[in-house]
């Protein structure tokens, strides 16, 4: 248990569905992240939130919409996804001070888009 | 992007042997981190080495950093079946953390 909880663990959705991924961190960290992990590719940083404010959006398509209501919770809202969006979506948190610091990851949501 | 690149992509060793993997990067860094990922799970932080450090140890793990060669190595000594996982290096500079594609390590019983 890393202190970062992601739900659901698995998700299958059609291209017209709307779903949300949830992440909660119990570590008191001030930064939260969404990463996408596809097979045989490096982790892709999608969004970064520092103190609830979005500080990075790495050219992510608008069909992915993040939400950070407070420093402990992070959501990723999904709509009209494409099959190529199938991947493992990882949430992480860290305490940013003189750098990003050590990232603590959740177990991920394995997403399949049909 | 100053992504780290791990080498080799895959490694198969016998239990009890040592495993060594390398990470190369392109530009200056503040620190370099190593993570482990078991199949289908999240990444777990193993060790962080700062740019002014040359070597760090944690249990059976030894990490070296050579900033002149822009490379790092991770050594796992006396490997166990439980060490079977993918290992990633991540380089940080200017608050940006970039991951490589990983080395998949299989430890045979």
Q: Which tens digits make up the pLDDT trace of B1-15?
A: 447 788 999 999 999
DSSP code per residue over A5-66: EEE-SEEEE-TT-EEEEEEEE-S--SEEEEEEE-TTS--EEEEEEETTEEEEE-S--TTEEE
| Tokens found for residue A103 | 């990232």
Distance of alpha carbon A58 from alpha carbon A9, whole angstroms: 24
Q: In Å, what is the CA distance from A54 to each residue of A51, A95, A101? A: 8, 15, 18
What would the mean pLDDT of B32-37 be, rounded to a whole number? Answer: 96
- Reported as a single tens digit per residue, the pLDDT across A37-48 is 998 788 999 999
Closest CA to A94 of A1, A3, A20: A3
Distance of alpha carbon A105 from alpha carbon A34, whole angstroms: 10
What would the mean pLDDT of A20-27 be, rounded to a whole number? Answer: 97
- Reported as a single tens digit per residue, the pLDDT across B55-90 is 999 999 999 999 999 999 999 999 999 999 999 999
Q: By three-state DSSP, how is residue B2 classified?
A: coil
Closest CA of chain B from A4, distance in Å = 10
Closest CA of chain B from A45, distance in Å = 8
Least confidently predicted of A35-44, A75-84, B19-28: A35-44
Distance of alpha carbon A17 from alpha carbon A111, whole angstroms: 13
> Residue A97 class from Cβ within 10 Å (0-12 exposed, 13-18 middle, 19+ buried)?
exposed
Closest CA to A65 of A20, A33, A104, A17: A20
| Tokens found for residue A52 | 């609830």
Least confidently predicted of A47-61, A96-110, B24-38: A47-61
Closest CA to B108 of B1, B12, B3: B12
The DSSP secondary-structure symbol of A81 reads -
What would the mean pLDDT of B102-108 be, rounded to a whole number? Answer: 96
Closest CA of chain B from A80, distance in Å = 25
Q: What is the mean pLDDT of chain A?
A: 92
A interface test, pick of B35, B85, B95 with most A CB neighbours within 10 Å: B95
Interface residues of A toward B, Cβ cutoff 8 Å, are 2, 4, 6, 40-43, 45, 88, 90, 92, 96, 99-100, 102-108, 110
Look at A105 and B99 and tell me if their CB atoms are within 8 Å. Answer: no
Distance of alpha carbon B86 from alpha carbon A93, whole angstroms: 20
**Residue length of chain A:** 114
Distance of alpha carbon B105 from alpha carbon B9, whole angstroms: 9
A interface test, pick of B5, B6, B43, B100 with most A CB neighbours within 10 Å: B43
């Amino acid at each position: 248990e890393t202190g970062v909880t992601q739900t659901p663990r698995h998700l299958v959705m059609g291209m017209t569905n709307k779903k949300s991924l949830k992440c909660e961190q119990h570590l008191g960290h001030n930064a939260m992240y969404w990463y996408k992990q596809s097979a045989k590719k490096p982790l892709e940083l999608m969004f970064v939130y520092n103190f609830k404010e979005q500080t990075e959006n790495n050219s992510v398509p608008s069909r992915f919409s993040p939400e950070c209501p407070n420093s402990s919770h992070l959501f990723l809202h999904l709509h009209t996804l494409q099959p190529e969006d199938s991947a493992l979506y990882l949430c992480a948190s860290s305490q940013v001070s003189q750098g990003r610091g050590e990232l603590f990851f959740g177990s991920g949501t394995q997403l399949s888009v049909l | 992007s100053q992504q780290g690149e791990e080498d080799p992509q895959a490694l198969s060793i016998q239990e009890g042997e040592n495993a060594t993997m390398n990470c190369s990067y392109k530009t200056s860094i503040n620190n370099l981190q190593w993570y482990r990922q078991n199949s289908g799970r999240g990444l777990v932080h193993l060790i962080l080495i700062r740019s002014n450090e040359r070597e760090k140890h944690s249990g059976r793990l030894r990490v070296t950093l050579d900033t002149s060669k822009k490379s790092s190595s991770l050594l796992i000594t006396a490997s166990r079946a439980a060490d079977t996982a993918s290992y990633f290096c991540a380089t940080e500079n200017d608050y940006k953390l970039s991951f490589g594609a990983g080395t998949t390590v299989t430890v045979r019983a």
